[in-house]
Structure 1
């Protein structure tokens, strides 16, 4: 395993690329009405009127210049990585705190997210309001195949390879021998592998959503109302909301190439996921449009969905007992409008659950929907346990 020298990169796209993207969206045919009448909005997919409004906003109000300035606020880098036949260039943001006792922290996004999901939490993590509040050196990579990060050509580049990459980024490339991590969605899968495989360097892990088994030794009648709700939501999601998972796990070339051909196709596909997995009171259309633009302009949608084919089987195994135990303390934040999950007793079977907090609002995209709450949770958990572990 070897890393090159980090290279500063300015994230920019030409006016012609931006204009072409918006013109393609405008040229995309839009139906006058949904295919059939449905009494339950969003049941059969994206809501017709919501999508129409998003499309109009994208074509008439959205600004690349605004997004570009937000990205440029933080230093972006590319670093070359080689491990055997695996070769890739990794994009990441790295922001160091001025505090000498700051905690190195890597933040891992999932799908259909990007590194930019974390833009609302970086400042607060790096620059806390006082000396008593923990500070962090923040590292936010783009997953392999996402945005400017390339994907190795080898079929089978999976969770253990990605865990090795990110652990090496922190310890070898950036010089943090011990660090903490946070992840959600597919990022939580890679974090789970890292926490199981590299406990000597990854000392604490926090998850904003986590797949875990059911504890067979706990009587379901003793579940809390929160546990019952989360389990029911997850079972419903698995029964009615995982069509994307099936096709991305089995035929990623087909869906990847088709959706990537049009910014409006990406808007439709990703927009439905972001809205449907979020707290509807907290969804910001701007976040959806920014995400769509980053996928389209970077031409990374086809490689992003490969993650499900290369890692989906491991993700499903996480519901089995004894798979990938977390070897150091970990914490979980539950947001009530997320996709649900295992009861707290099930989560506790995979390691030493040292922090568990439930929020009555927020959804799957915690860093976008509830940045203040996520920052507070990270400060609480890492602040309480970092010194005792490091």
Structure 2
């Protein structure tokens, strides 16, 4: 498999077209005093779009993203974009970090140097990693699947080829959140011999608990989870229902309107992060817009949502996973999982409850996230020396 160096360079035509669209947004109205209650607040979105149109500098963000060593290769007929940064320390452990939706590989950009070069950030050089951060197929700078059936399991099999056949690693650590958690767990379930361990920040919505009929078989924590997760799906899960059933219909509007795309994504960053209702408390305007821009300049919002359909229609269930697992729970994340269920279904060797942070873990709390990954992986260092 041929690996080619990759640099992001968005054409001027795409940026000029974007600016024109931002100048002629047709805004809806909003009920007085409704704020974010019924969806993305009109006035906050207008403020962000004004900044996007008049001050945001994509070229500066593009140069920042291009500081990382990026590559593309073709796996199973699909181009895969990935960051591959070598560790600066003795015998680094390789780790693959898988993102979710509505983020991108950008989810991990703040922790790459913390993991590759811990000594420069007050850590120990022997805690260094080789860091691989791919873009999921259908997201950002990776190619798009053209056939149905492309789910978390399919991606995990591609990651096996990326890590072993393309990059030449015989064993590695896998980590992820959101869709990345599902991909990572499928990796562990089907290829335990390749993994030192897995590090997760969530386990997704636990469907078997939501559909459980025998309440007496559940722990009190699991019964509470069933109530709270069902309430969350009813109140906040509209996006998931739509993306799991009719993603193509949604794609037309989000692919054509940058303001519509920003409204769809912004709501999730506010609702799922530990920002306490103030997005700019956790993210800068540049952070938010760069996350949105990766979808816009690649026109991948439609292809990114399809994995929800495939996961809900074609993904087989997982059993207990025996690979050592590190779990980092961030308090403002969505549908926090019951510890009793995780302990039954995963071989947990490290359990951490963070004092702050939400769903976008490594974007919100990069130092805490990096520290937890380092601590979880220390027992594997001796194995990596063999």
- Which residue among 234, 237, 242 is the counterpart of 2:232? 237
Q: Distance in 2 between matches of 1:216 and 1:43?
A: 36
Whether the aligned pair in 2 keeps the contact of 1:192 and 1:324 (CA below 8 Å) is no
Provide, for residues 117-154 of structure 1, a one-character-per-residue CA deviation record: whole Å limited to 9, x for no partner: 21110011000115465110000000010112112322
- Which residue among 73, 83, 94 is the counterpart of 1:79? 73
Provide, for residues 312-334 of structure 1, a one-character-per-residue CA deviation record: whole Å limited to 9, x for no partner: 3467x76xxxx332221101111
Tell me the SS of whatever aligns to 2:187.
helix
Q: Which residue matches 2:88?
A: 98
Q: Which residue matches 2:55?
A: 61
- Which residue among 337, 360, 365 is the counterpart of 1:365? 360
Deviation at 1:81, TM superposition (A): 1.5
Tell me the SS of whatever aligns to 1:194.
helix
Q: Which residue matches 2:159?
A: 166
- The answer to whether the aligner puts 1:28 opposite 2:25 as a matched pair is yes
Q: Distance in 2 between matches of 1:218 and 1:229?
A: 10
- Which residue among 110, 132, 139 is the counterpart of 1:139? 132
- The answer to whether the aligner puts 1:89 opposite 2:90 as a matched pair is no
- The answer to whether the aligner puts 1:191 opposite 2:181 as a matched pair is no
Consecutive unaligned residues of structure 1, counting only runs of 5 or more, are none
Whether the aligned pair in 2 keeps the contact of 1:231 and 1:342 (CA below 8 Å) is no
Distance 1:247 1:27, change over 3 A: same
Q: Which residue matches 1:339?
A: 334
Deviation at 1:355, TM superposition (A): 1.2
Q: Which residue matches 1:255?
A: 250
- The answer to whether the aligner puts 1:382 opposite 2:377 as a matched pair is yes
Q: Distance in 1 between matches of 2:155 and 2:245?
A: 20
Provide, for residues 1-42 of structure 1, a one-character-per-residue CA deviation record: whole Å limited to 9, x for no partner: xxx2110111111223212212212211124x41x2455x42
Whether the aligned pair in 2 keeps the contact of 1:275 and 1:283 (CA below 8 Å) is no
Provide, for residues 295-328 of structure 1, a one-character-per-residue CA deviation record: whole Å limited to 9, x for no partner: 111111111111111113467x76xxxx332221
Deviation at 1:233, TM superposition (A): 4.9
Deviation at 1:182, TM superposition (A): 1.0
- The answer to whether the aligner puts 1:13 opposite 2:10 as a matched pair is yes
* Larger helix percent: 2
Q: Structure 2-normalised TM-score?
A: 0.90
Consecutive unaligned residues of structure 2, counting only runs of 5 or more, are 210-214, 276-280
Whether the aligned pair in 2 keeps the contact of 1:207 and 1:332 (CA below 8 Å) is yes
Deviation at 1:228, TM superposition (A): 8.9
Deviation at 1:366, TM superposition (A): 0.6
- The answer to whether the aligner puts 1:286 opposite 2:256 as a matched pair is no
Q: Which residue matches 2:99?
A: 109
Deviation at 1:57, TM superposition (A): 1.4
- Which residue among 194, 213, 232 is the counterpart of 1:201? 194
Provide, for residues 197-236 of structure 1, a one-character-per-residue CA deviation record: whole Å limited to 9, x for no partner: 110002210111113455965641xx4xxx8987665333
Q: Distance in 2 between matches of 1:195 and 1:230?
A: 25
Q: Distance in 2 between matches of 1:141 and 1:246?
A: 26
Q: Which residue matches 2:272?
A: 277
- The answer to whether the aligner puts 1:153 opposite 2:132 as a matched pair is no
Q: Which residue matches 1:295?
A: 295
Whether the aligned pair in 2 keeps the contact of 1:335 and 1:363 (CA below 8 Å) is yes
Tell me the SS of whatever aligns to 2:308.
helix
Deviation at 1:95, TM superposition (A): 0.5
Whether the aligned pair in 2 keeps the contact of 1:232 and 1:340 (CA below 8 Å) is no
Whether the aligned pair in 1 keeps the contact of 2:89 and 2:125 (CA below 8 Å) is no
Whether the aligned pair in 2 keeps the contact of 1:233 and 1:339 (CA below 8 Å) is no
Tell me the SS of whatever aligns to 2:118.
coil
